[in-house]
Amino acid sequence: MTNHWVDLKNADVVWVMGGNPAEAHPCGFKWVIEAKKQRKAKLIVVDPRFNRTAAVADIYAPIRPGTNIAFFGGVINYLLSKDKIHHEYVKHYTNAAFLIDPGYGFADGIFSGYDEAKRSYGSKDTWKYQMGADGFAKIDETLQDPNCVFQLMKQHYARYTPEMVSKVCGTPQDAFLKICELVASTAAANRTLSYLYALGLTEHSNGSQNIRCAAMIQLLLGNMGMAGGGINALRGHANVQGITDMCLYAQVLPGYLSAPTDADKDHETYLGKRTPKTLRPNQMNFPQNFPKWFTSLAKAWYGNAATKDNGFAYDYFPKLGGASDALSIFNDMYLGKMQGFICQGFNPLASLPNKKKVGDALAKLKYMVVIDPLATDTSEFWKPHGEFNEVDPTKIETEVFRLPANLFAETAGSITNSGRVVLWRWKAAEGPGESKDDTEIIAALFLRLKAMYAAEGGAFPEPLRDLTWTYTQPAKPSPEELLKEINGKALADVVDPKDPTKVLVKAGEQLPGFAMLRDDGSTSCGNWIYCGTWSQAGNNTARRDNSDPSGLGQTLNWGFAWPANRRIIYNRASADLQGKPWDPSRTLMKWTGTVWGGNDVPDMRPNAAPEEGVMPFIMAPEGVARLFSRELMTDAPFPEHYEPFESPLDANPMHPGNARAKSNPVARVYKGDMEAFGASKDFPYVGTTYRLTEHFHYWTKFSKINAIVQPEQFVEIGEELAKEKGIKAGDKVKVRSNRGFVKAVAVVTKRIKALDVDGRKVHTIGIPIHFGFKGATKPGFMSNTLTPFVGDANTQTPEFKAFLVNIEKI
Amino acid sequence: MALQSLDIKQRSATTTPSPQARQTVEIAKLIDVSACIGCKACQVACMEWNDVRDEVGSCAGVYDNPMDLTENSWTVMRYSEVEQNGKLEWLIRKDGCMHCTDPGCLKACPAPGAIIQYSNGIVDFHQENCIGCGYCVTGCPFNVPRISKKDNKAYKCTLCSDRVAVNQAPACAKACPTGAIQFGSKEDMKDYAATRVADLKERGYDKAGLYDPQGVGGTHVMYVLHHADKPALYSNLPENPGVSPMVSLWKGAAKPIAAAALGLVALSSLFHYVMKGPNEVSKEIEKEVEKEDAQ
Amino acid sequence: MKVTRRQFFKVCSAGLGGSSIAMMGFSPTAALAEVRTFKLARATETRNICPYCSVSCGVLIYTTGDRSKNTPGEIIHIEGDPDNPVNRGTLCPKGAGLRDMVQSKDRLKWPEVREAGSNEWKRISWNEAIERIAKHMKADRDKNFVAQNKDGVTVNRWPTLGALASSAASNEAGYLTVKFLRALGVTQLDTQARI
Amino acid sequence: MIRDPKDLQRYTASERANHWLVGICFILLALSGLAFFHPAFYPLVQLFGGGTWARVLHPFIGVLMAAAFVVMFFRFRALNVMTDADREWLSRVREMVDGNDHNMPEQGKYNGGQKMLFWLLALCMLVLMVSGLFMWRAQFSFPVDLVRLASLAHAVAGVVIIALIIVHIYAAIWTKGTVRAMWYGTVTRAWAKQHHRAWYRQMTGK
């Protein structure tokens, strides 16, 4: 979230598309209801199903799964063609005025530079800015240059007419236009729209571009950085934000530091590539501090073994050789390239696409370690559970270990909510039996391996030998010690760069914030964005002063929000060029004459006077937000509609003549998975998966109370399809995709309507995800038996939201 | 003896009034259906606070689960899909005890002290006094109480009388994520409801209104409805609920009339005997029979 | 009430006994109307955070006892923390039922192993579990570690161990996990966040 | 009372047992039923071991009574067919009540009043039995409106039957020499001649 949960109450319009907060985040959704009650806000819901969020919406419109970009494109076209944009904001705070390479082009659904053989945009040179002789990007403040982003954008989205939107999405035109009108009303400086989404946008083969669309609309309306505005990813798990921040994934190191790859052969190359050049004069270009962050991390991990001479233990950091994400890992596993697998609090048998493939992959391992509080389905992938899991254990050689971990109530530590607020939790009880904290389990494994390497030697033992492990009880690192390490401390006196005699932080002291980080090895910090969580003042995540003097819900003394306790990021954009708030009644930030002040921690150098022209988007080397994403995305600089990989249509209605442009032309598809896609003649209906409010993923099926309120797997179908197929509510049905089938109870509803798409009728079948063969709910099939093994071209998030199925009564 | 954490207004099967001197605040729970997302948090919070768990059931082709109120499910969400003038609405109502001012259950209950109405408006069942006859079910105009198959006692929402007694809100009201359930004095709740109704009218729901049915003297669980003119849309919420005339007659007029009638019959018999004397076999006939014997 | 024959005889005899006692004047007095005692009285309250979605609602966990040495507390109730500015004491159906998750019948209590080809779990000690896992890992790592790629660039990675990390673990647990895995050279690493 | 071998057998042992089975059931049912009906009578539940026991036992006793009554009904049905003489008797019942039975028409084994009582009891029993089943929540579940109607009907029929039984008992007490018929089965011939002359003739042939 750019904003935070309570801030939703400051919105005038709330637009939910690609999420279902009433069901998945009810307690956060209260702030939408609050906005409706207190500000007379209007709620827009666009979703294939009339869901429980729609039940309290002011406007609901249906949409065919997988066609969000067509819808967004239509809204962008409406805003641009009707001139309903926040002009000042767009001109100064976005890259609308930037000139793009004249070679840039877009034809028949494909952008310039496409390499069909590699299914990628090999050269993205034409997607770059025109650079001036001064070394900065060229701009045209009049926005008239045909190569400026603004004009290119107008041209690109002119094709997304209301008729086209309706043709592609199946959304009735009048509903679409009503939504456009309401969205456009927030172009006014004193009105804001808050955009809410979750996996309904991300779980598509063009998921990242979906989100970019929403961000572009918010920029055109001038709603980014505003109270009651922003792009708000609702996010799934309690600490999905924190674990993402800690970067437990291959591409980055803690704090989103891009991890070294094979191309970064040494420390210098590595840092050089990751320290961007400023693209416009006077901009902060904050990422240029990358070397300070990386060095401090290396010092936190390898202490004295990380020296200037060895590139701060650069070689201790493994280099990424290729794709590495849940899909690629399981594909490698499936191909027999993996030996072991550690599964910590994760149930991939249920949560990755194509259950059959996942199970087969696990069966090829030599060993698997499950660390979990619960007896998950994954831990028993080898065990026959009737028709729900048909396997032959005698043929599965994997040795599976199951280690009991403590749950939230049994462990202390911090978590980070989707509003980026880091909060401390206290231990309430002991875990059952012999269960242990995750940290104890990791420590046990580490200490054993370290001892074994020390005794026997082996491959590259140095990182294990040198890894800092200075915890008071090495077998039991305390969360307090760990958070202190994450925050970081001064290893030597940290001095003011402008005045070396002035000591800012004494050696040994906890750092107050990331501004103190140094690239000379004098600071250590496990995660730069968490710097400030445990300063000399103590544990800031445990702060419990919930006072809210501004009334905006900022509660600056409650826990600690990264970065720098900032509650709304880009908040400098809530004021105009001169530093006056666009809406004084919701002031976040204003120029006081000497410094930036207001009701938040400024997202700006505090003394950067408006005359300096330092723009609000300090993490971008341009200083402004990108309507055109240059070469930063793999698949498009402007989002473009492509069909899901399993589409009920024969062609992309926007590019009927070009088969290459039917689905995302650069999305990765593995061998075998392409063949496993189904065709619309065999599987004529669109399947989409989702959560129900009564359950949380694959956990609450273990909780009796939740099993009581939603006991059994079902699928939802519209009345019209039900009639066609002779299905009544409560009947057992079989839903098939090209990868398998599930049996479930039919819920027949008025809430899913057949849509009129490109001249044909498209029915949608809704498939909740929460059930499996383990737990207190009735044993059932896993919905991922049906889903296709393909992900978003940028993030590889699987396409769970749009695929093809058939249905029959049994 | 400690005995009473809330003042009692009336108790079942008791002909004399309870102490009435203390004036306490009447409370109410307001359910704003227009803000309800049907998430069932109230259902779960209720089960959790009251330590009741139903058996895990099955899906019957609808979102409702458990399908109906039971001795372990004191509140359930009822979902109805309503399409009017081309507009689809998903009307979701939290069903449970309404805590009537004139409670039909209490009226019908034959067991003294099994049903108590507190002066704050809560109608509570005391299972230790309950004899399991089910008259409360017969008496209730909202079809709420349920008799447990396990112990044959009647159960229903207590409005968390144990929480309210220590000045806490009912578990459902505290949990409700969207604030669709509010809890406070009945007067405050009515005022708040008025603001909600005004908001709904502004949003085009001309017939929005408060459901506080006077047929049962008003209730201590009230609804804000977008279509107050058609409560039946909300999974058959009764339009004009009242204690059934049959129940009123049975547990009302019938009682004194019957007692009087029986007394009258018994007394008439007595007085008849006293006044007319016994109906003995006449001497004449005895003699006749003796004569016959002699023959 | 369903009454079996045997129960019925019991009923008869008990009824007879009961009624004769009653007739002699031993009838029990009716219980007075008292509400259920507030069940949290003197329970220990701990502030925590719901582990489900990322609204991260504050919760209050109530345990029996007072944390004295001999009374390991049992969780008796969980409800919303009114101080938390986001949830303000409210909880959703998942959060409101957290106690049933903590006390789920499917909680793991001790380390177990399922050996190759077996159809069952075997309980093992922590020591054995860690030993066996570490042996597997070391053998795998020593065999499959890639110090340099084919272009001679030092890459120091272990490509044959995959790891998927929880999105429910604490920041500290996540941090320690990534620190450990990266030190081993693991690159086949991903998290729930992607899904 | 001295028993005379010439006394007339009015009821067989089995008929008497049948009657008293119904009678005992009735008393238990009336006591427990009244307890449920009116709080003033609630303390009567103590006779049954408390409210819950009373609630549990009442319907079972009811079933027993119903069964016993059905037997009794078929035993006595034929004897209770109304005749013109009964109707005549009934039309002059005031005289009877007044203690002046000299001019009452000749009656068979049962007079018009007894016959009417018989049929009214049968009717009440039927209503009680059927409505009682509807109200028996421990065993059955019927639509609530039906249960409400049943509850009212049960109460009304219950009160009526109690009143009838009071009349029945009183009549037995009032008419001296009657009660023994139900104790040991016989009545004196004089009693029979006085109150049921037609039956007397039939029995004695006189």
Quick: pLDDT tens for A463-502. Answer: 999 999 999 999 999 999 999 999 999 999 999 999 999 9
Residue A751, chain B, CB below 8 Å: the answer is: yes
b/e map D21-45, b = 16+ CB within 10 Å: bbbebbebbbbbbbbbbbbebbebb
For chain C, positions 13-42, list CB contacts with chain B under 8 A: 30-39
* Residue-level pLDDT at C11: 46
CA triplet A407, A410, A416: central angle to 5 degrees? 65
Q: How large is the average pLDDT for residues A14-41?
A: 96
CA distance C132 to chain B (A): 39
- In this predicted model, which residue has the larger pLDDT, C26 or B202? B202
Q: Give me the catalytic one of D19, D58, D154, D168.
A: D168
* Residue-level pLDDT at B4: 58
N residues, chain A? 810
Residue C75, chain B, CB below 8 Å: the answer is: no
Number of structural domains found in chain B: 2
Residue A733's H or E segment, with its range, is strand A732-737
Q: Looking at A554-563, C14-23, D53-62, which range is the least confident one?
A: C14-23
CA distance A712 to chain B (A): 5
- Is residue C20 predicted with pLDDT exceeding 60? no
Helix A162-169 vs helix A68-81: crossing angle, to nearest 10: 170
**Which residues in chain D touch residue C29, judged by CB atoms under 8 angstroms apart?**
none
Residue B113: closest CA among chain D residues belongs to which residue? D39
Provide the mean pLDDT of chain D.
Answer: 92
Q: Looking at A16-20, B259-263, C7-11, D108-112, which range is the least confident one?
A: C7-11
* Residue-level pLDDT at D2: 55
Out of 2.40.40.20, 2.40.128.110, 3.40.50.1000, 3.40.50.720, the CATH code matching A659-809 is: 2.40.40.20
Interface ipTM = 0.94
Of C138, C164, C175, the CB nearest to A527: C175
Interface mutation vs chain B, best among C7, C11, C29, C34, most B CBs within 10 Å? C34
Is the separation of the CB atoms in D132 and D155 below 8 Å?
no
> CB B11 to CB C89 under 8 A?
no
Phi and psi torsions of A206, nearest 5°: -130, 35
* Residue-level pLDDT at A601: 96
**Which residues in chain B touch residue D32, judged by CB atoms under 8 angstroms apart?**
none
> CB C23 to CB D47 under 8 A?
yes
Domains and CATH numbers, chain D: 9-94+105-204 (1.20.950.20)
- A455 class by beta-carbon count within 10 Å (0-12 exposed, 13-18 middle, 19+ buried): exposed
- Along the 295 residues of chain B, how does pLDDT read in single tens digits? 334 578 899 999 988 888 888 888 999 999 999 999 999 999 999 999 999 999 999 999 999 999 999 999 999 999 999 999 889 999 999 999 999 999 999 999 999 999 999 999 999 999 999 999 999 999 999 999 999 999 999 999 999 999 999 999 999 999 999 999 999 999 999 999 999 999 999 999 999 999 999 999 999 999 999 999 999 999 999 999 999 999 999 998 899 999 999 999 999 999 999 998 898 888 888 888 888 877 6
Q: Looking at A755-764, B49-58, C101-110, D185-194, which range is the least confident one?
A: D185-194
A791 DSSP β-pair partners: A798
Residue B90, chain A, CB below 8 Å: the answer is: yes
For chain C, positions 68-97, list CB contacts with chain A under 8 A: 72-75, 78, 80, 83-88, 90-97
Last residue of a domain, one of B142, B164, B186: B186
Q: For residues A378 and A297, give the distance between their C-alpha atoms in angstroms, rounded to a whole number.
A: 34
Helix, strand, or coil here: A371?
A: strand
Residue C108, chain B, CB below 8 Å: the answer is: no
Task: Tell me the pTM.
Answer: 0.93
Quick: pLDDT tens for A340-392. Answer: 999 999 999 999 999 999 999 999 999 999 999 999 999 999 999 999 999 99
Of C31, C33, C96, the CB nearest to B48: C96
Is the separation of the CB atoms in B8 and B45 below 8 Å?
no
pLDDT band for position C32 (cuts 50, 70, 90)? low
Of D43, D56, D138, the CB nearest to C11: D56
| Touching pair C, A by Cβ (3+ pairs < 8 Å) | yes
> Is C44-102 a domain of CATH 3.90.1580.10?
no
Q: What are the sequence ranges of the domains in chain A?
A: 23-233, 659-809
Name the residue type at position A453.
Answer: Y
CA distance B124 to chain C (A): 8
The whole-angstrom distance between residue B30's C-alpha and the CA centroid of its chain comes to 17
What secondary structure does DSSP assign to A193-220, as a single string?
Answer: EEEEESHHHHSSTTHHHHHHHHHHHHHH
Is the separation of the CB atoms in C38 and C86 below 8 Å?
no
| Touching pair A, D by Cβ (3+ pairs < 8 Å) | no
> CB C97 to CB B113 under 8 A?
no
> CB C11 to CB D47 under 8 A?
no
Residue D179's H or E segment, with its range, is helix D179-183
Quick: pLDDT tens for C70-97. Answer: 988 999 999 999 999 999 999 999 999 9
Question: Domain A23-233 falls in which CATH fold?
Answer: Dimethylsulfoxide Reductase; domain 2 (3.40.228)
Quick: pLDDT tens for D38-51. Answer: 998 999 999 999 99
Q: Looking at A140-149, A378-387, A540-549, B13-22, which range is the least confident one?
A: B13-22
CA distances from A78 to A35, A65, A96, A210, A223 (A): 26, 22, 17, 17, 17
For residue A653, whether the previous peptide bond is cis, meaning omega lies within 30 degrees of 0, is no
Q: Tell whether B44 and B181 lie within a shared domain.
A: yes
Q: Is the dihedral of CA A207, A210, A215, A216 positive or negative?
A: positive
Q: What are the sequence ranges of the domains in chain C?
A: 44-102, 112-194
**Tokens in use for D34?**
């009244």
N residues, chain D? 206
A765 DSSP β-pair partners: A687, A717
- Is residue C3 predicted with pLDDT exceeding 70? no
Q: Residue B145 falls within a domain, yes or no?
A: yes
A51, A693, A30, A9: which is closest to B180 by C-alpha? A30
> CB A729 to CB B62 under 8 A?
yes
Q: Tell whether B172 and B258 lie within a shared domain.
A: no
Q: For residues B73 and B64, give the distance between their C-alpha atoms in angstroms, rounded to a whole number.
A: 12
Of C1, C14, C19, the CB nearest to D138: C1
Helix C5-23 vs helix D51-76: crossing angle, to nearest 10: 110
Return the number of CB contacts < 8 Å for A and C.
497
Of C115, C157, C183, the CB nearest to A399: C115
D168 classed as catalytic: yes
Give the helix, strand, coil percentages of chain C, each rounded to 5.
35, 25, 45
Q: Which chains touch C (3 or more CB pairs under 8 A)?
A: A, B, D
Q: For residues A298 and A528, give the distance between their C-alpha atoms in angstroms, rounded to a whole number.
A: 11
> Which residues constitute the domain of residue B288?
253-294
A550, A556, A615: which is closest to A588 by C-alpha? A550
> CB B39 to CB A23 under 8 A?
yes
